[in-house]
Amino acid sequence: MASENGNASPSPSPSPSSLLEINNLKKYFPIRRGFFKRTVGYVKAVDDVSLQVNEGETLGLVGESGCGKTTTGRMILRAIPSTEGDVFFRDPDLGRVNVIELDNQKLNQVRRNMRMIFQDPHASLNPRMTILELIGAPLRAMGLAKGTELEDRVADTLGLVGLAPEVMRRYPHAFSGGQRQRIGIARALVCQPNLVVADEPVSALDVSVQAQILNLLQELQDQMGLTYVFVAHDLSVVAHICDRVAVMYVGKIVEMASTLELYTNPKHPYTEALLSAIPKPDPRRRGSARILLEGEVANPADPPSGCYFHPRCAYAQDLCNQQEPAWEEVAPGHFAKCHFANELELAGVVA
């Protein structure tokens, strides 16, 4: 079913199983020039994003660097303020709340149940703090534990991520990249949250370590009933861990479906191009040719008319230049933002 407003994806209707609902979320960064720093335009980093994340699932946000996926993840936790839109979260204590409108006291309470895993385990851990201080910081800041109780909770959380409690007195420099990311995961989980935003948690790690961290995240999800928003650009990683996938291009979501459906039956040319870049594990096996997109990613400060992707799209027609496509349900649970989503036969990957 198409949206009445072709410029935005429709706001999802609240579902009893939904933990997170994002409605028409925007983030515009002002462009200021001149001696008086007057605003002459805006960089539309996130432009009308609507999502619904069900309890216990993993939703992947994918796209090229600069598409707005990390900004979206940070606005969910209100780590950066939004320009417009709503973020509804079903908090176990406060009920359904709009994170954007909370005062500082209630926001601090909600953040016990909404945590973030950062991309770079080297930059996200303060080298002057011990592991006990790093992981225990959220507990102290929120008044959840102190003294012996804090140490016990840190020790228990370290055990969950596969590290011995004895490492609490050490500093981050004594650990490998994979171990540091386990510490970052422990810091996110020490408050026992419901929702975790994982911002490319394995992209800075060696390939040999990535699978260990992904398996750990899945085990923790089963043990603790976690819900993930998983930000990534590596679609082979997303296929391993995500239940549903939303594809972003220049601040907008252009396609969303279950992982299997999106990978085997893409409906947007941009998704097809991303899937063609997934490395083939068997070089003797023939697959679809790599699609090399021509031109540059659209400028979010001065996007093209019509469909943002049309200057790079091999299937573009005059309509694509003139009119922005509507957000349409092309199959049950499969949404796409393309004028010809029901007509194109695009190549996916083998299931």
pLDDT at 204: 80
Whether 50 shows a pLDDT value over 90: the answer reads yes
Instruction: Give the H/E segment covering residue 5.
Output: none
pLDDT at 90: 96
Over residues 102-116, the pLDDT tens digits come to 999 999 999 999 999
Q: How many CB atoms lie within 10 A of CB 174?
A: 10
Among the residues of 49-195, which ranges form H helices? 69-76, 104-110, 131-141, 147-160, 177-189
List the single range of 139-153, 288-302, 305-319, 329-343 with lowest mean pLDDT.
288-302
Residue 254 CB contacts under 8 Å (≥ 6 apart), including other chains? 247, 248, 268, 270, 271, 309, 336, 337, 338
Whether 10 shows a pLDDT value over 60: the answer reads no
pLDDT at 288: 60
Sorting pLDDT into bands at 50, 70 and 90, what band is 310?
Answer: very high
pLDDT at 69: 95
pLDDT at 261: 95
Whether 16 shows a pLDDT value over 70: the answer reads no
Q: How far apart are CA 230 and CA 58, in angstroms?
A: 7
Whether 266 shows a pLDDT value over 70: the answer reads yes
pLDDT at 1: 39
Among the residues of 41-146, which ranges form H helices? 69-76, 104-110, 131-141
pLDDT at 213: 93
List the single range of 33-37, 79-83, 86-90, 241-245 with lowest mean pLDDT.
33-37
pLDDT at 85: 96
Mean predicted lDDT score pLDDT of the chain: 90
Sorting pLDDT into bands at 50, 70 and 90, what band is 286?
Answer: low
Burial class (CB in 10 A: 0-12, 13-18, 19+), 36: exposed
CA distances in angstroms from 302 to 30, 67, 309, 316, listed in the order given: 13, 14, 13, 20
**What is the percent of the chain where pLDDT is above 70?**
93
pLDDT at 191: 95
Whether 248 shows a pLDDT value over 80: the answer reads yes
Over residues 188-210, the pLDDT tens digits come to 999 999 999 999 999 888 888 99
**CB of 115 within 8 A of CB of 196?**
yes
Whether 164 shows a pLDDT value over 70: the answer reads yes
Q: What is the mean pLDDT of residues 42-65?
A: 94
